[in-house]
Amino acid sequence: MSAGEYDTGLADEFDEGPARDVPDLLPSAPELPSDRFLDRELSWLAFNNRVLDLARDADRIPLLERAKFLAIFANNLDEFYMVRVAGLKRRIAAGVAVPTISGMMPREVHTKILTRTRELFAEQSRIFTAEIRPELAKEGIEILRWDELEPAEKDRMNELFAERIFPVLTPLAVDPSHPFPYISGLSINLAVMVRNPTTGSRQFARVKVPNVLPRFLQLAEGRYVPLEDVIARHLDQLFSGMQVVGHYTFRVTRNEDVEVEEDDAENLLVALEKELLRRKIGRPPVRLEVEDDIDPKLLELLISELDISEKEVFLLPAPLDLGGLFSLTGVDRAELKYPAFLPATHPHLAEVETSKPADLFAALKQRDVLLHHPYDSFATSVQRFIEQAADDPHVLAIKQTLYRTSGDSPIIDALIEAAEAGKQVLAVIEIKARFDESANIAWARRLEQHGCHVVYGMVGLKTHCKLSMVVRDEPDGLRRYAHIGTGNYNPKTARQYEDMGLLTANPIVTDDIGRLFNHLSGISQETQYRRLLVAPDGVRTGLMERISAEIDNQRAGRPAGIKIKVNSLVDEAIVDGLYRASQAGVPVDLWVRGICTLRPGVPGLSENIRVRSILGRFLEHSRMFWFAAAGEPTVGIGSADLMHRNLDRRVEVLASITNPAHVQEITNLFDLAFDDGTVCWLLDSDGRWMPRTTDDEGRPLLDLQEYLINAKTRRRPNSPSELPTRDATGH
């Protein structure tokens, strides 16, 4: 996967405000302890350490995949500083002296973040220098420094510099007539000290390493050199007549938050475009990475000119920004990567007798289809659903939400095709999706140009729900078909993210979705739905009601239990509800990829709660909810994580799953995730995540994702859709 595609869930607004008031599930119960919450920022850093665990794991993870996890770690940390740390610094600068839910003041949290980041950077450098780089070299893949190049390779790099690099470089000197240049966020730069041989005076200059060229230049098969090394070797050509005294790489991370006051903006699209332009300049720095052998006086100059605190400076061995290791994903060495995997068409959508694509509308008249990506192909299910609707003369309308999509999206193309064919097309585009704002603005304008109705959701709320609806004219009247998902309509990330989706023609569900689309595009005040929970009005209250029901079931001796899978668990009201459930004896299983502020295993508070995390070749991204409901499980999937932003400031949807086979499939997924024989990380009451990859005798445990690849590909078109269970041997 490319940079930025291992989404961390950070790319959204800073969120530390209190949740909406929710009544206590047990008003007469003892007061919950004040130290019951883990800090969310430190919990996120713990998540990124789990990504480092994958880079460390030579027993289970192929070598080039381990290098990719180092790159993912680096990109994740960049985003964390651009969004979370930037927001924390804003609070400190504004004098907001309100403690976080963990009880720490913002300055204390910032200090702990910086300390923990140094530890993580040190470990990342150690893994790269002592493990991955030498192991790559043994396999004939070398990342070299200039002095390690062969004479013929240096000659080729000299030619490349003259022809392709030198023309795009812009050296910027600093003197009374040349102010210190603006350093763009995340760019790699060379800090150069030059000396005038005539006067002996020294002068600082900055050279930006261009991002239009590969970060690691290929010398020959399996041999690479960092671009900045090639530039550094040729600095004398940039500063002719001057003596280059020293050069060092550095990198600045800036606040990349986007702030648009929607209530005051006559046109949200125009206002956001202006704000994106402002993002490019004037953003304060939140982190400075410099080469660890930098001249102290030069470092002092950078700190002063960038107006950054010394405690926010990180001295690192070269090369900086190991996100550049993403370039190694193109190396053609299959034995050093995960085995090739081709998603299969869901058996209920596959044509058995012919090679032509299945008629999805005919299939959905027979049954709902529960999809599990990437194991079930996105292209032959969700993408095909929209493309068939665009091409079908009986389809009258298509309504679609878009939060993030790919640069060459077939979804966009299909919507344009439908509009040009005379169909009514509504696209609800979230142009405030962080870091995708510019792309989404471009899609919005393109769709409008081709006759689509484009709306930008609701003032004050982000539209994060994943919905598509088709209205079709059939012999027995109009029929609606719909897709509800947990992931974005992005064909590229659908091959790398684990997500769930429901394709359905159920009239109750499609009526709910139709009314929700009217709510998004019109002025209706709809808040009540039969098969959906919709935020900001209904998700938290709906989940709290179900938690309360499980407490009642436990007390009455009926089957009770709660299983939740999310990317992040932060919302205090939900966490307290789960604590109350645990105190009542309800078993609670939480499957959390990233942030978790709940402390499991605390006597008298959470001894009935287990928290596990699973990371692997696919990004675990689905959100699933399971309640025992006295023996008739209530199950749902949707777009919402359990955070304030999702429950209070977004339009989110959770849809109930009622087909018994689908309920069983989701039940089996939870059972596999919490099986003692499955690889995972276990959270303890102190916030430590403990990896579990082998049993007590050192035998490897089952990798859930690899198991699902094998299990799903064994399915046949007429086989049951539920996930096969595993026997005692793990097969």
- Decide: 194 and 242 in contact? Cβ < 8 Å: yes
pLDDT greater than 60 at residue 3: no
More confident residue, 424 or 29: 424
| Continuous H helices in 251-353 | 268-279, 296-306
For 98-123, how does the pLDDT look when each residue is reduced to its tens digit (9 = 90+)? 888 899 999 999 999 999 999 999 99
- Report how far residue 600's alpha carbon sits from residue 466's, in angstroms, rounded to the nearest whole number: 31
pLDDT of residue 93: 85
SS3 state of residue 397? strand
pLDDT greater than 80 at residue 342: yes
Q: Annotated catalytic, 348?
A: no
Three-state DSSP string of 487-553: CCCCCCHHHCEEEEEEEECCHHHHHHHHHHHHHHHCCCCCCCCCCEEEECCCHHHHHHHHHHHHHHH
User: How crowded is residue 604: how many other Cβ atoms within 10 Å of its Cβ?
Assistant: 10
Record the tokens describing residue 99, joined without a space.
Answer: 């403690």
- For residue 143, the surrounding DSSP H or E stretch is strand 142-143
DSSP string, 534-603: EETTSHHHHHHHHHHHHHHHHHTTS---EEEEES-B--HHHHHHHHHHHHTT--EEEEESS-B-B-TT-T
Domains 142-257+287-324 and 533-713 share a fold: no
Over range 357-381, report the average pLDDT: 93
pLDDT greater than 80 at residue 38: yes
Over range 407-422, report the average pLDDT: 88
Please report which confidence band the pLDDT of residue 718 belongs to, taking 50, 70 and 90 as the band edges: very low
pLDDT of residue 730: 43
Q: Which residues pair with 246 in a beta bridge?
A: 193
Please report which confidence band the pLDDT of residue 211 belongs to, taking 50, 70 and 90 as the band edges: confident
pLDDT of residue 94: 82
Ordered by start, the domain boundaries in the chain are 142-257+287-324, 347-525, 533-713
pLDDT of residue 437: 59
Over range 371-385, report the average pLDDT: 96
Superfamily of domain 533-713: Endonuclease Chain A (3.30.870.10)
pLDDT of residue 261: 41
Q: Is 3.30.1840.10 the CATH classification of the domain at 142-257+287-324?
A: yes
- Decide: 401 and 411 in contact? Cβ < 8 Å: no
Q: Which residues contact 279 (CB under 8 A, 6 or more apart)?
A: 256, 258
What are the backbone dihedrals phi and psi of residue 354, each rounded to the nearest 5 degrees, phi first? -130, 170
pLDDT greater than 60 at residue 318: yes
Active-site option among 346, 348, 464, 644: 464
pLDDT greater than 80 at residue 433: no
- Decide: 662 and 720 in contact? Cβ < 8 Å: no
Please report which confidence band the pLDDT of residue 660 belongs to, taking 50, 70 and 90 as the band edges: very high
Residue with tokens 């993408």: 383
- For residue 115, the surrounding DSSP H or E stretch is helix 106-126
The CATH architecture one would assign to domain 347-525 is 2-Layer Sandwich (3.30)
Please report which confidence band the pLDDT of residue 174 belongs to, taking 50, 70 and 90 as the band edges: confident
CA distances from 582 to 225, 233, 245, 602 (A): 55, 63, 65, 10
pLDDT greater than 50 at residue 704: yes
